[in-house]
Chains A and B, each alone.
Chain A
Amino acid sequence: MEDYALVMKDVCKDFKVLNRHEGLKGSIQDLFSRDYKTISAVKDVSLNVKRGEIIGYLGPNGAGKSTTIKMMTGVLEPTSGEILVNGKVPYKNRTENCENIGVVFGQRSQLWWSLPLIESFKLLRDIYMVPKNEYNDMIELYKSLVDIEPIINKPVRQMSLGQRTLSDILAAFLHNPAIVFLDEPTIGLDVSMKDKIRSLIKGLNKEKNTTVILTTHDMGDVDALCKRIVIIDKGTKIYDNDIEHLKSYFGSYRTLHMRLADDTWESMLIDEKETDIMDVIMRKQKETKIKDIRLEEISTEEVIKKIYEGDAA
């Protein structure tokens, strides 16, 4: 048990939702109605995450990712099943659990809006009771990984989205938690900022052996950071393994890019088991002239898309 940062066993989460009726009469009915339906947001999810691992926790919108994260962080209580974070039940020991986790929501800053970053850091140091030398070491580590000079004295409200995300990530690691949850950390950021954020996460994970649970829709994040991915859909875990394994599963897929006579590129995904690539090219050539051809292995992005669409089953 000890080398797992996170253990989930058969975790389910149901929500009760009132069945709403239409119209004014319906609204009045709803006032007194006890007519609830149960929605299961998460169904029998089991998961073990080792210390120091970075896992990509993926799934289409509404798949139950956020609900799972909320249960792992102790905000929501599972309907059934067991969750252990650092060996403790998060919901029952919320404050203790919080000492050992860090959370970043890509679009919501958790820092004090009007305070300069360094003052937020100092308050967090007090809240988490981080010893002075550990705090100083952490700041030194930050300085070695990113250029914090431009943001350290800036109030959070004056920061760009990228700077704010960077600050939030730094703040989440400040008390050296065992697990950090990152929910879409690169959402809305430009390419170079995404790169910066990814290398920062990678650096912190390596230096501190922090377990990272990353939810994202950006496959660039996954490619850069995760070896293992977990995919859930409609509340059920549908995949849990290495990315490479997943790609080999779709090994017979190739992306064919063709540059046509009017210089536009046309791309298509082809399963070599079913279709012969040469056939496709020749058929196309009868319609129009092909100036250039490029053949690529299936990208993570396309693999995930195929899984969401239900081809993995």
Chain B
Amino acid sequence: MEHVRGLAFYTKLYRKILVQDLKTKMSYRADFIISTIGMIMTNLSGFVTFLILFRNFPTINGWDYYHMLFLYGFSLVALTPVQCFFDNNWNLRFMVYSGDFIKYCFRPVNVFFYFISEVFDVKGLGQLAFGIGTLVYSWIHIGLPVSFMIILKLIVFLITASLFMIALMNAAAATCFWIKNSGYVMVIMFRFKDFAKYPASIFSGIFKVIFTFVIPIAFVAYYPSLVILDPDNVPLLSLLSPVLGILFFYLSYKFWMLGVRKYDFTGS
């Protein structure tokens, strides 16, 4: 008796796990409220820093205040999926050290899916709301048009941008299968995301190369958002970014799964 588990199976299963998870989260009301407030405060403080900075430097490399704001909002929205859906990556190394990780290998479902599906982080939703607000506000001030095509483009390239961030975090988390102190790898990756809200054009030479090809932070907002902001001369990298995003995500997934295979599950 063998079962085929396809996309429909996984979608349905994820939805069910999510519903159950949300139900229990709501039941811990204080916890829910405090974490939501915490997330709003975090975003607010980031936003205020940003405002102070750009009130004083009205343009950076030809990027004015509202364009910078757009980029900021874009990065916030693009960072939401990694926060909401892939947060369990942060727990991976603890599970791997303690040996608890083995439990994810006993179910007839994809190990990556099973592991990731366990945690849905509601806090990311506050960030999403904040990001959308910022996007809309800057959108109006820049005077960007509103059409079906441009919204579709926006969605496609937001997804692209989030794929890059998810892939980065997957890869960073998976290092724990090989190295003991992989915590700092994740922390560094997570810090790098702060660079995402600046136009990659401000970085010079070597940094630009690094943030484009080595640790592709520039794809988390800069390249994809150019498609909306500067539709007349979109660089090739921006156009290619959806394909690159999918490819990068796939590679990070493969790397993660390779880690599972390599890992010898020592310790009882």
Chain A residues proximal to chain B, CB less than 8 Å: 15, 66, 70, 73-76, 94-96, 98-99, 101, 103, 105, 108, 110, 112, 114-115, 119, 122-123, 126-129, 155
A13 nearest in chain B by CB position? B264
Query: What is the minimal beta-carbon distance from A90 to any residue of chain B, in angstroms?
Result: 11
Prevailing SS type, chain B contact patch: loop
Chain B residues whose CB sits within 8 angstroms of the CB of A99 once the complex forms: 1-3, 108
Whether, in the assembled complex, B16 has its beta carbon less than 8 Å from a beta carbon of chain A, the answer is: yes
A112 pairs with B20, CB closer than 8 A: yes
Chain A residues whose CB sits within 8 angstroms of the CB of B12 once the complex forms: 126
Question: What size tier do the contact residues of chain B reach?
Answer: 20 to 34
A15-B264, A126-B12 given; A73·B21 CB < 8 A: no
Chain A residues whose CB sits within 8 angstroms of the CB of B191 once the complex forms: none
A127 pairs with B106, CB closer than 8 A: no
Q: What are 8 A-B pairs at a CB distance below 8 A? A: A15-B264, A70-B265, A75-B105, A105-B102, A110-B106, A123-B13, A126-B12, A126-B13
B108 pairs with A76, CB closer than 8 A: no
A128 pairs with B108, CB closer than 8 A: yes
Chain B residues whose CB sits within 8 angstroms of the CB of A76 once the complex forms: 264-265
Chain A residues whose CB sits within 8 angstroms of the CB of B268 once the complex forms: 66
Chain A residues whose CB sits within 8 angstroms of the CB of B24 once the complex forms: 114-115, 155
List CB contacts (< 8 Å) of B105-158 with chain A: 105-110, 118
A95 pairs with B1, CB closer than 8 A: no
In the bound assembly, the distance between CA atoms of A101 and B13 in angstroms comes to: 20
Chain A residues whose CB sits within 8 angstroms of the CB of B109 once the complex forms: 95, 127
A172 nearest in chain B by CB position? B106
A127 pairs with B107, CB closer than 8 A: yes
- Cβ-defined partner of B102 (8 Å) among A75, A94, A122, A123: A75
Chain B residues whose CB sits within 8 angstroms of the CB of A105 once the complex forms: 102-103
List CB contacts (< 8 Å) of B12-33 with chain A: 12-13, 16-17, 20-21, 24
In the bound assembly, the distance between CA atoms of A99 and B154 in angstroms comes to: 42
A123 pairs with B17, CB closer than 8 A: yes
Given contact pairs A112-B118, A123-B16, enumerate 14 new A-B contacts (beta carbons under 8 Å).
A15-B264, A66-B268, A70-B102, A75-B106, A95-B108, A95-B109, A101-B106, A108-B99, A112-B17, A114-B21, A122-B16, A127-B108, A127-B109, A128-B108
